[in-house]
Amino acid sequence: MIYEIAVLPVHKEHIDAFRRAFAEVAPLLSRAKGYLGHMLAQGVETPERFNLIVRWESLEDHTPGFEASEDHRLFMLGLEGYFSEEPQVYHIEGTTFTADDDRAWV
Domains of the chain (ranges; CATH) run 1-91 (3.30.70.100)
DSSP reduced 3-state for 100: coil
Say if residue 52's pLDDT is above 70.
Answer: yes
DSSP state of 58: -
Sheet with 35-42: strands ordered across? 35-42, 49-56, 2-9, 88-93
**At 101, is the pLDDT very low, low, confident or very high (cuts 50, 70, 90)?**
low
Q: What is the pLDDT of residues 54-71, one digit of tens each?
A: 999 999 999 999 999 999
Average pLDDT estimate for 68-81: 98
Residue 96 has what pLDDT? 72
Average pLDDT estimate for 27-38: 97
Residue 106 has what pLDDT? 41
